[in-house]
Structure 1
Amino acid sequence: MNYLREVVLSDPEAQGSFLNEVELAERIGVSRTPVREALLLLVADGLVEMLPGRGAYVPPLTGRQIRELMELRGVLERYSASRALADKTVPFDFLNSTLDAQYQLAHADESPDRDRVAAATAFIDHDMEFHQVLVDASGNATLARTYAGLRVRQRRLGIKAVCGSANRQLAVCAEHERIVAALSDADEQAAHAAIDEHLALTLRVLLDV
C-alpha cells in the first residue's frame, strides 16, 4: 500500500495512465491479491479509479482540484503559523536544517547526470517535512492529521512541479527562506504573505506544466 502511494502514484508518468496489477505484483514481490486490495483502498481514497474491462486508472488532478488543495493548505498553514508564533513553538532548528538540505539537493540537481524524478522525490520529501512540522507546531493534533492526509496529493503535485519547471527547486528554497525569516521576525502578517506567495507560485507552476 505504502509503495503504491509513495512511489507509483508519485511518478509523473503514472498520471493519466493505467496500472498493470501483474507488473506491480512482480515489482513489489507479492501476489496479485494484496496489490488488488491496495488498489481498492486507493479507490476509496479517490486516488485511483477502477474502470470495467480496463483496470486501475490514475486520474490526473484537475485544475480545480489543484486550486482547492492550495486553498486548503493556505488556511491550515496560515493558522498554524499564527498559533506557533503566539505560543512561541516555531521549530526554527528543524525548519532551517530542512531548508539547508533542500538547498543542497537543489544545487546537486543542476548536474545533468542526475535522475530528475529521483532528485525531485528527495527534494519534495524534505519539502513536505518543512510544511508538516510547521503545521504540527500549531499544537492542534486534529489539524495536523488533516494536513498529513493531504500527503499523497501534495507529493504528486510537488514532484510534478519541480520536474516540469527549470530552477523550481531553488525558487522553492528562496520562498521557504522568506517564510522562516518572517517567523523569525515574529511578523505574523509577513509570514502569512510569504506562505500565500509560496502557494500562489506553486499553483502557477502546476497549472503551466
Structure 2
Amino acid sequence: MHELSGRERAYAYLRDQVLSSPAATGTFLNEGELASQIGVSRTPVREALLLLVSEGLIEMVRGRGAYVPPMSGRQIGELMDLRGVLERHAADLCLTAGTVPVERMSDTLDQQEALSEGAAEDHARTFIALDGAFHQHLIDAAGSELLSHTYAGLRARQLRAGLSALFGAPDRKHQVCTEHRAIVDALRSGDAAASAEAIDAHLTVTTRILLRG
C-alpha cells in the first residue's frame, strides 16, 4: 500500500478536515498549529497550502498567511450547476449501459438514514461523507475515468457546501435522505427523465439553502 508523503497527509487533512468545516470560513490558518496537528513539519504544510491555492480553495495574503475565503453565491451556483451536468450525464450513461449501482447507492443511503436522527451536529461529517459517496457511486458506475476524476476533484467544495447546508435548514438530514431515495427510485425504474428531475430537485434545494444562508 502506498504510504502517504508528508505533503499528501497535510493536503488530505486540510481538504477533508479543515476546509470542509464552515467554521474555517473567514479565518487564517496557522502553519505551525497545522503541522503539530498533522504530525509533520511546516514545509509539507506550506506545500499543501500552495496546492490548495492553485485549486482556488484558499488565498495567500501578504503578511497574514493562508486565508479561507467564503464561497460566493456565484461559486455555489457554479458548483451545483457542474454537479448537475456531471450527475445527469452519469445517470444517462448508467441507464443506457445497465450499470446503475442501485444496491451500492441504497446501502449508502441506509447508512445515512441511520444517522438522520438527532441534532444536525451529531455525526454531521460522517453523514456528509456518505452523501459524497452516494453521488460518487453513480459517477463511478458510468465507467469514465475522466468523469470520476473530475467529480472527485470537487470533494473539498462539496464537503464544505454539504456541511453548510446541513446546518442551514431544520431537519435537513431527513430531507436529504428523502431526496436521495427519490433519485434511487427513479434510477431503479429506468426512467432517464425522472432520474434527471430527481437529481435536479435535490441540487436545487441544496442551492436554495446555501444561498439563503
Structure 1, unpaired ranges of 5+: none
**Alpha-carbon distance between aligned partners in 2 of 1:8 and 1:46, rounded to the nearest angstrom:** 15
Which residue does the alignment assign to 2:97?
A: 87
Structure 2, unpaired ranges of 5+: 1-10
| TM-score normalised per structure 1 | 0.94
SS of aligned partner of 1:50: strand
Task: Decide which of 170, 183, 206 is 1:166's aligned counterpart.
Answer: 170
Deviations 1:78-132 (A, max 9, x none): 111111111110011101100100000112xx15xx8x1x621100110001101
Give the count of matched residue pairs.
Answer: 203
**Counterpart check, 1:104 vs 2:114:** yes
Task: Decide which of 84, 89, 95 is 1:74's aligned counterpart.
Answer: 84
Query: 1:30: Cα distance to partner?
Result: 2.1
Amino acid in the other structure paired with 2:131: D
**Counterpart check, 1:203 vs 2:207:** yes
Instruction: Indicate the percent of aligned positions where both proteins have the same amino acid.
Output: 55
**Alpha-carbon distance between aligned partners in 1 of 2:82 and 2:39, rounded to the nearest angstrom:** 37
SS of aligned partner of 2:151: helix
Task: Decide which of 48, 64, 67 is 1:38's aligned counterpart.
Answer: 48
**Counterpart check, 1:139 vs 2:143:** yes
**Alpha-carbon distance between aligned partners in 2 of 1:31 and 1:184, rounded to the nearest angstrom:** 49
**Alpha-carbon distance between aligned partners in 1 of 2:47 and 2:90, rounded to the nearest angstrom:** 36
Moved over 4 A (4+): none
Query: 1:29: Cα distance to partner?
Result: 2.2
**Counterpart check, 1:26 vs 2:45:** no
**Alpha-carbon distance between aligned partners in 2 of 1:46 and 1:150, rounded to the nearest angstrom:** 11
Query: 1:40: Cα distance to partner?
Result: 1.1
**Counterpart check, 1:156 vs 2:170:** no
**Counterpart check, 1:119 vs 2:123:** yes
Query: 1:36: Cα distance to partner?
Result: 1.2
Amino acid in the other structure paired with 1:120: A
Task: Decide which of 54, 62, 70 is 2:64's aligned counterpart.
Answer: 54
**Alpha-carbon distance between aligned partners in 2 of 1:35 and 1:145, rounded to the nearest angstrom:** 24
**Alpha-carbon distance between aligned partners in 2 of 1:12 and 1:64, rounded to the nearest angstrom:** 18
SS of aligned partner of 1:106: coil
Which residue does the alignment assign to 1:63?
A: 73
SS of aligned partner of 2:116: helix
SS of aligned partner of 2:60: strand
Amino acid in the other structure paired with 1:19: L
Amino acid in the other structure paired with 2:105: L
What's the Cα RMSD here? 1.2
Query: 1:147: Cα distance to partner?
Result: 0.8
SS of aligned partner of 1:177: helix
